[in-house]
Homo-oligomer: A and B are copies of this chain.
């Protein structure tokens, strides 16, 4: 067999020329192909980031060449591990799984843009023609309903469950604010009530058939994320961070929590990476990127690097997030679906 792929080739070039190698990378535990950092690295570089010993790199190269030549490889693609939780019964519990993927968006740190990433990921997935739902797991600080401009209270569904509201673009949304008289009413609840609300949002809502249910979580590593990880049939977690080291330290706590609870990290998103003035000058307001560091620490791909965009703030406040379009977010959604597809 002729060795066409070598350690110094750039991962992005390898997978573009030989699409069959994508599964080999992932089978060897290298998610670099869907990673904004990794894909620009060499094969050896990617292996180094993920701490491959020389013999493992050698086997990877052998398998890559085998795949490129249509031969048999030593690895078989792994299935994504699922959360260790006991799945709740769905309101309309059919024997087949009506929600294909349940993905939580977590951070540990507040204000890094979890809700924004959740909202815009949903918008991009919907544009791809997917059936998408958002469960706003931030019970005391919900922002999803406002962002999508969904108004009114949820009604009873034909099956006796709760019918979620629908955004203009057809995304199903359930958020605590829909159950309050005024959106500024506080929800002064201790942990058990928070947990029970999240469970009800999952089991009592008639979500119908969905390709993705995105669960937006509050910061911290207390009741809400614990409940979602332990009581929902979670397929994976997307971690949102910001360049600030302080944020990264707190985000690391969340990553360690997911690993302790045997959850699966789909990927990492770096938000607020920079601000670009209308004249095109870039400022790294919150410090320089930690994307590569996060990839190294989680072993999961960097799904996107997102700038601060004032236009987006305005649209979110006006409940018109679905009118926003930015290539960064379309890329994020593409990396997200690709990573999940390969994991399955």
Interface positions of A (Cβ within 8 A of B): 108-112, 138-143, 146-147, 183-192, 194, 218-223, 226, 244-246, 249-250, 252-254, 256-257, 260-261, 275, 277, 281, 283-287, 308, 310, 313-314, 316-317
Contacts and interface: CB of A to CB of B under 8 A. Distances in A.
11 contacts: A108-B141, A111-B112, A140-B221, A140-B253, A187-B221, A188-B221, A190-B223, A191-B194, A277-B283, A285-B313, A286-B313
A137 to B, nearest CB: 12
A295 B319 CA distance: 25
Main DSSP-derived SS at the A contact region: loop
A323 to B, nearest CB: 16
A38 to B, nearest CB: 22
A343 to B, nearest CB: 24
Contacts of A223: 190-191, 222-223
A310 to B, nearest CB: 5
Given A141-B253, A226-B190, A281 B277 contact: yes
Given A191-B191, A287-B310, 6 more contacts: A109-B111, A186-B253, A186-B260, A190-B222, A191-B192, A285-B310
A296 B325 CA distance: 36
Nearest to A141: B250
Contact of A249 (B184, B191, B261): B184
Q: Which of A109, A141, A253 has the most CB of B within 10 A?
A: A141
A312 to B, nearest CB: 10
Given A109-B110, A184-B256, A186-B257, A140 B220 contact: yes
Nearest to A257: B186
B110 A250 contact: no
Nearest to A285: B310
A194 B190 CA distance: 11
A253 B185 CA distance: 5
Contacts of A316: 244, 246
A177 B286 CA distance: 22
Contact of A191 (B138, B222, B245): B222
A222 B140 contact: yes
A245 B317 contact: yes
A308 B244 CA distance: 13
B246 A143 contact: yes
A110 B246 contact: no
Given A111-B111, A310-B287, A188 B147 contact: no
Contact of A187 (B253, B261, B308, B314): B253
Contacts of A287: 310, 313-314, 317
A112 B143 CA distance: 15
Contacts of A275: 275, 283, 285
Contacts of A187: 221, 253
Nearest to A114: B110
Nearest to A112: B111
Contact of A146 (B249, B277, B281): B249
